[in-house]
Chains A and B, each alone.
Chain A
Amino acid sequence: RKEVEQDPGPFNVPEGATVAFNCTYSNSASQSFFWYRQDCRKEPKLLMSVYSSGNEDGRFTAQLNRASQYISLLIRDSKLSDSATYLCVVRLNDYKLSFGAGTTVTVRA
């Protein structure tokens, strides 16, 4: 079983729509959680950390459910520039991050 699993999508949504997707992780001892964004043929970049109480960063909302071992990301009022692959990332210990394969989001005009 993979350490982090994501629905690959793609999620095709019109501008202004809300899109949400989850990822699940297998190791209940996982310590921290993050969403990274990767544009086509570019490197991954940190989008936001995910805190136990849930957190927002502008139009992006992240939630963590430790009991069910899943993390979610919601994008409100989606923009064309939100088109990317979103990588769910779980920190297993002080150095090791485990990356999901990514969920592709395409926002159309």
Chain B
Amino acid sequence: DAGVIQSPRHEVTEMGQEVTLRCKPISGHDYLFWYRQTMMRGLELLIYFNNNVPIDDSGMPEDRFSAKMPNASFSTLKIQPSEPRDSAVYFCASRMGQGRTGELFFGEGSRLTVL
């Protein structure tokens, strides 16, 4: 079975450029999460969607960040303009339904470097 698929795996860009990260969740999963991981702050939840609708974006650091989920099989996280402090690994994760399970299925991550 295909897991969560993210692209690109690596991106190096210059400050001020637009960055778009993509995610395809596991088919049938109705929750999708975007996380950011850095050495200093660990894993931080940026935003999550339920049935393609953004539910909580309180973790989005500032207006330069935006996320969309136009359909059940695709989501994007956009940074415009990018800054060096945005350098991190961005993970997309999905899961099915509510309930007590803690199992999120993560993609392999997109490693972003902003010069």
Question: Footprint of B on A, CB under 8 Å?
Answer: 31-34, 42-46, 49, 87, 89, 91, 94-97, 99-102
Contact = CB atoms under 8 A, between A and B. Distances in A.
Interface of B: 31, 41-43, 45, 48, 50, 55-56, 91, 98-100, 102-104, 106-109
30 contacts: A32-B100, A32-B102, A33-B102, A42-B108, A43-B107, A43-B108, A43-B109, A44-B43, A44-B104, A44-B106, A45-B106, A46-B102, A46-B103, A46-B104, A89-B102, A91-B102, A94-B98, A94-B99, A95-B48, A95-B50, A95-B56, A96-B45, A96-B56, A97-B45, A97-B102, A97-B104, A99-B42, A100-B42, A101-B41, A101-B42
Nearest to B39: A101
A21 B42 CA distance: 18
**Majority secondary structure of chain A interface residues (helix, strand, loop or mixed):** strand
Contacts of B103: 34, 46
Contacts, number: 44
**Which of A97, A99, A102 lies at the interface centre, i.e. has the most chain B CB atoms within 10 A of its CB?**
A97
Contacts of A49: 102
A65 B50 CA distance: 32
Nearest to A44: B106
